[in-house]
Structure 1
Amino acid sequence: MSDLKTMANPLFLREDELRQGIELLFYAYRDFTRGPDEILDQYSFGRAHHRALHFIGGHAGITVAELLGILRITKQSLSRVLSALIEGGFVRQQQGTRDRRQRQLFLTEAGRNLERQISAVQQAKVAEAYREAGAEAVAGYRKVLAGLIDEPARAVILRSIQRR
């Protein structure tokens, strides 16, 4: 990895510095999602399916309403995604334990396997970048990512992530 410290400008809030950061984020996202996209293509799934698998896997029993709140997509879009995942045998739903109107979502064994396969690719990519950057840079990176989350939701999201 090229040494980004040499590229750092003490005037990091200037427009050109901000544009470079945004561009790096676009390229990083492109490469971060390439491996999972290749796996998902085998099932005719896309990134919305990946996000659903990720959050259902990390929050077994999550309700459809909670998943909608996390993903911030329309009910119609989530319905299409969940239908494909359920019909494919990757997700199962059951009636809520507290409220029978709710639908709770769980990964099946096939869903857990697919989610693990996708996660392994991304974890390897992140681990490599973390090793190259070092602990101090990783702490700064996490701070920047947290700062990109809208303020009203930030504390709740950070607590949720730290609990797991």
Structure 2
Amino acid sequence: CWSLLAASSGGQGGVVIALIFALIINIGAYWFSDRIALGMTKSQHISEQDDPELYSIVREQARLAGLPMPKVYEIHTDSPNAFATGRSPKNAAVAVTTGIRRILSREELSAVLPHEMAHVGNRDTLIMAVVATIAGAISMLAMIAQFSAIFGGLLGGREGRDNISAC
């Protein structure tokens, strides 16, 4: 019931503030998901002059997938990995680690990158950013309810008890 949730999380005002905060986070995740992912992995932008081979592989896979050329990034780590990010095909980025470059041949890397390009084409990165934000908002509401129950009493007085029976 709305009244039970509102009472346990600082009143209806607390719920409204939490939902507005979640909306702001969701919009931020939508607009900045690519920068967040690339920043967290310390990715470095690669130009065609920096790595013509990698750039040509990505360009060819984008062409075959019918997608615009994404930005290309490299992550300096021994872990073999590759990922795609971005809110749309026009704002996409593909990142590969130096570890995967060391162990895969050009042909093998050309088989891995179409999988990443499919994520771009299907907007999987956008969907996952939104899902993660919603999960975070639910977690935040649960934490507010928990702290409210511990430090402020779950329902607070007679009015709160009457609201339970209305559920």
Tell me the TM-score range normalised by the shorter chain: under 0.3
What TM-score does the superposition give when structure 2 sets the normalisation length? 0.24
Bigger Rg over Cα: 2
TM-score, scaled to structure 1: 0.25
Q: Identify the structure with bigger relative contact order (alpha carbons < 8 Å, sequence gap 6+).
A: 2
